[in-house]
């Protein structure tokens, strides 16, 4: 398909939703709308999928393609993808299975291990562990402080706690469990925090690695992520050549192991020994003006308008392959 034809497609941008990340998702959707307009697309509609009339308006629109900018539950977990598959509308980014795997930190860790990617030690528990003193004592003995407690399936650091004291662990488990049934209790890996964006499907490409800095926070939490990129992004990351090679290799392996399409963004901690430990893979990375993926792409010489156009092209290509 030529770009002249591509630019005439009737495209729905699906954003918002019901997750904790719905506001960030709407920002991503607006930024992508602006980028696609700049690229030359003529017929774009931005939806908040949580609007009561969304299904009726979407069904009446006879759209050719869906550009997904939803984050977290219902957006990155395979739900919206399954909806689009059912009504035979091609869409951006990963399919149902890959989205479900990548969104579930426990399932994703299994895939990482199988691919030979270093992962932090940890254990999956449910809310009952918060009231089980033996489990609490055992987790502390096995993992040592500090410990990270996080929901199995949520993003943007919602429900995440860095635990430094015995009495904090039960509360952290209850907080994480409020975001979902399963809770991941993990050792804290100390080192340099980086994120590695990957684009493409058949021949994925690593974009410049971003080092994430946050002087006044315990970790890269929601408040830090809402601040300007210039305060927290160092591109390229301050890594050795070998650390860069390993992180890039592991990000590609994660992308392939999960079955990602179009893009992914894997977060790592690089220890002082030079080992990148993977934390998670974002299936639909943030695409606001301060987000990591657009910032990295710009440093690679890829304007965000061009990147969004490629996402549409790749999504259409994948839909053709599946028929």
Span 226-267, pLDDT tens digits: 555 566 789 999 999 999 999 999 999 999 999 999 999 999
Domains of the chain, start order: 3-92 (3.40.50.20), 102-118+189-305 (3.30.470.20), 122-187 (3.30.1490.20)
85 torsion bin: left (phi>0), alpha (psi -120 to 50), beta (else): alpha
Characterize the bridge pairing of strands 10-15 and 43-48.
parallel
> Which pLDDT does position 83 carry in this prediction?
96
User: Omega of the bond prior to 222 within 30 degrees of 0, cis?
Assistant: no
> Which pLDDT does position 323 carry in this prediction?
46
CB 92 within 8 A of CB 67: yes
| Residue 259 CB partners (closer than 8 Å, separation 6+) | 94, 95, 97, 98, 101
pTM score: 0.90
> Which pLDDT does position 299 carry in this prediction?
95
Closest CA to 212 of 266, 161, 260: 266
Angle made by CA atoms 294, 220, 188, in degrees to the nearest 5: 130
Contacts 24+ apart (CB under 8 A), 132-139: 136/166, 136/169, 136/170, 139/169, 139/185
CB 276 within 8 A of CB 118: yes
Strand ordering across the sheet containing 43-48: 43-48, 10-15, 65-68
How far is the CA of 216 from the CAs of 2, 106, 219, 220, in angstroms?
Answer: 48, 29, 9, 10
Q: How many residues does the chain have?
A: 323
Closest CA to 42 of 1, 4, 15: 4
CB 179 within 8 A of CB 127: no
Distance CA 310, CA 258 (A): 21
| DSSP line for 102-119 | HH-HHHHHHHHHHTT---
- For 230, the token pair is 């210039």
> Which pLDDT does position 233 carry in this prediction?
87
Angle made by CA atoms 100, 102, 108, in degrees to the nearest 5: 110
Phi, psi of 227 (to 5 degrees): -90, 165
Low-confidence ranges of the chain (pLDDT < 70): 154-157, 215-231, 320-323
Span 77-128, pLDDT tens digits: 999 999 999 999 999 999 999 999 999 999 999 999 999 999 999 999 999 9
């Amino acid at each position: 398909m030529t770009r002249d034809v591509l630019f005439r497609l009737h495209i729905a941008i699906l954003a918002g939703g019901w997750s904790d990340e719905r506001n960030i998702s709407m920002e991503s959707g607006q930024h992508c709308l602006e980028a696609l307009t700049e690229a030359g697309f003529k017929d774009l509609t931005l939806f908040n999928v949580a609007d009561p009339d969304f299904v009726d308006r979407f069904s009446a629109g006879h759209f050719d393609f869906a550009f997904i900018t939803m984050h977290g539950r219902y957006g990155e977990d395979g739900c919206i993808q399954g909806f689009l598959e059912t009504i035979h509308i091609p869409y951006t980014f990963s399919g149902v299975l890959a989205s479900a795997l990548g969104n579930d930190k426990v399932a994703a860790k299994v895939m990482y291990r199988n691919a030979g990617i270093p992962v932090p030690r940890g254990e999956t528990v449910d809310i009952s562990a918060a009231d089980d003193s033996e489990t609490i004592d055992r987790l502390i003995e096995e993992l040592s402080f500090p410990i990270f407690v996080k929901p199995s399936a949520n993003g943007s650091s919602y429900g995440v706690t860095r635990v430094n004291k015995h009495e904090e662990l039960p509360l952290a488990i209850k907080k994480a469990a409020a975001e979902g049934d399963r809770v991941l209790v993990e050792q804290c890996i100390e080192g340099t925090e980086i994120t590695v964006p990957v684009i493409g499907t058949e021949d994925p490409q690593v974009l410049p690695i971003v080092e994430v800095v946050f002087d006044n926070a315990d970790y890269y939490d929601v408040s830090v992520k809402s601040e300007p990129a210039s305060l927290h992004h160092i591109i390229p990351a301050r890594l050795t050549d070998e650390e860069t090679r390993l992180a890039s290799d592991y990000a590609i392996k994660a992308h392939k192991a999960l079955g990602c399409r179009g893009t992914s963004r894997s977060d790592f901690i690089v220890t002082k020994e030079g080992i990148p430990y993977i934390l998670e893979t974002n299936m639909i990375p943030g695409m606001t003006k301060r987000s990591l993926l657009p910032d990295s792409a710009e440093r690679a010489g890829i304007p965000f308008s061009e990147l969004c156009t490629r996402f549409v092209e790749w999504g259409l290509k994948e839909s053709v392959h599946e028929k």
